[in-house]
Structure 1
Amino acid sequence: MIFAIALAAAGFLGLGFVAQQHAAYREPLGRMLHPSLLLDLVRRPLWLGGLAAMLCGQILGAVALSGADVAKVEPLLATNLVFALVIGRIVCKEYLSWNEWLGGVLASGGVAMFLVLGRPHGELPVEPTSARWLAAGAVALVAVVLVRAGWGSSLQVKAMLLASAAGMLFGVQDALTRGLLLRLEHGLSAIAASWQPYALVIVAICGLLLAQSAFDAAPLRVSLPAATAAEPLTGIALGVVVFSERLRLSAGALAGEITGLAMMVGGIVILGRSPYLVKRANDAPDPET
Structure 2
Amino acid sequence: MTLYVYGLVAACFLGLGFVLQQDAAARAPVADVLSFRLLLDLVRVPRWLLGIASMVAGQLTSAFALMQGDLSTVEPLLATNLVFAMLFARRLSSQRLGWSGWAGVVLLSGGVTAFIVAGRPEGTDREAGPLRHWLVFGILAGIALVLVLIARHLELFKEPPLLATAAGALYGLQDALTRVVGGIYDSSGLTGVLMSWQGYTIVALAVIGLVLVQSAFEGGPLRMSLPSLTASEPLAGIACGIGFLGDSIRLTPGALAGEVTGLLAVVVGVFILGRHPVLPEGKQREIQETEAT
Give the TM-score band, short-chain normalised: over 0.9
Q: Does 1:160 align with 2:161?
A: yes
Superposition TM-score, scaled by structure 2 size: 0.92
Instruction: State the match for 1:225 in structure 2.
Output: 227
Q: Does 1:272 align with 2:274?
A: yes
Query: How far did 1:183 drift?
Result: 1.5
Q: Does 1:261 align with 2:263?
A: yes
Counterparts in 2 of 1:198 and 1:115: CA distance versus 1, 3 Å = same
Instruction: State the match for 1:57 in structure 2.
Output: 58
Instruction: State the match for 2:288 in structure 1.
Output: 283
Q: 2:193 aligns with which of 191, 194, 199?
A: 191
Letter paired with 1:21 = Q
Instruction: State the match for 1:122 in structure 2.
Output: 123
Query: How far did 1:156 drift?
Result: 4.2
Q: Determine which structure has the larger helix proportion and give its number.
A: 2
Superposition TM-score, scaled by structure 1 size: 0.93
Query: How far did 1:141 drift?
Result: 1.4
> For 1:64-83, what aligned pairs fall within 5 Å after superposition?
64-83=65-84
Instruction: State the match for 1:23 in structure 2.
Output: 24
Mapped to 2, the partners of 1:49 and 1:123 lie a distance apart of: 38
Query: How far did 1:172 drift?
Result: 0.5
Mapped to 2, the partners of 1:21 and 1:244 lie a distance apart of: 36
Q: Which ranges in structure 2 are unaligned for 5 or more consecutive residues?
A: none
Letter paired with 1:54 = M
Mapped to 2, the partners of 1:32 and 1:69 lie a distance apart of: 35
Counterparts in 2 of 1:84 and 1:54: CA distance versus 1, 3 Å = same
Instruction: State the match for 1:249 in structure 2.
Output: 251
Instruction: State the match for 1:140 in structure 2.
Output: 141
Mapped to 2, the partners of 1:30 and 1:224 lie a distance apart of: 22
Give the secondary structure class of the aligned counterpart of 1:245: coil
Query: How far did 1:124 drift?
Result: 2.7
Q: Does 1:150 align with 2:151?
A: yes
198-207 vs 182-191, which moves further = 182-191
Give the secondary structure class of the aligned counterpart of 1:124: coil
2:168–2:233 CA contact under 8 A, matched in 1: yes
88-97 vs 167-176, which moves further = 88-97
2:160–2:219 CA contact under 8 A, matched in 1: yes
2:115–2:262 CA contact under 8 A, matched in 1: yes
1:107–1:263 CA contact under 8 A, matched in 2: yes
Letter paired with 1:66 = M
2:3–2:69 CA contact under 8 A, matched in 1: yes
Mapped to 2, the partners of 1:269 and 1:282 lie a distance apart of: 26
Cα-Cα RMSD? 1.9
Counterparts in 2 of 1:205 and 1:284: CA distance versus 1, 3 Å = farther
**Alignment deviations for residues 178-208 of structure 1 (CA, whole Å, 9 cap, x no partner):** 0000122123222222211111110010001
227-236 vs 93-102, which moves further = 93-102
Give the secondary structure class of the aligned counterpart of 1:150: helix
**Alignment deviations for residues 36-89 of structure 1 (CA, whole Å, 9 cap, x no partner):** 100011110000000111111011100000010000000000000111011101
129-138 vs 30-39, which moves further = 129-138
Counterparts in 2 of 1:57 and 1:210: CA distance versus 1, 3 Å = same
Counterparts in 2 of 1:5 and 1:231: CA distance versus 1, 3 Å = same
Mapped to 1, the partners of 2:124 and 2:38 lie a distance apart of: 38
Mapped to 1, the partners of 2:221 and 2:126 lie a distance apart of: 39
Q: Which ranges in structure 1 are unaligned for 5 or more consecutive residues?
A: none
Letter paired with 1:188 = L
Letter paired with 1:78 = A
Mapped to 2, the partners of 1:211 and 1:125 lie a distance apart of: 34
Instruction: State the match for 1:131 in structure 2.
Output: 131
State how many pairs are aligned: 284
Mapped to 1, the partners of 2:81 and 2:124 lie a distance apart of: 25
Mapped to 1, the partners of 2:281 and 2:176 lie a distance apart of: 35
1:14–1:82 CA contact under 8 A, matched in 2: yes
Mapped to 2, the partners of 1:125 and 1:52 lie a distance apart of: 36
> For 1:93-132, what aligned pairs fall within 5 Å after superposition?
93-124=94-125, 126=127, 130-132=130-132
Query: How far did 1:228 drift?
Result: 0.2
**Alignment deviations for residues 146-199 of structure 1 (CA, whole Å, 9 cap, x no partner):** 011112224443100000001111101100100000122123222222211111
1:26–1:284 CA contact under 8 A, matched in 2: no
Give the secondary structure class of the aligned counterpart of 1:121: coil
Letter paired with 1:110 = G
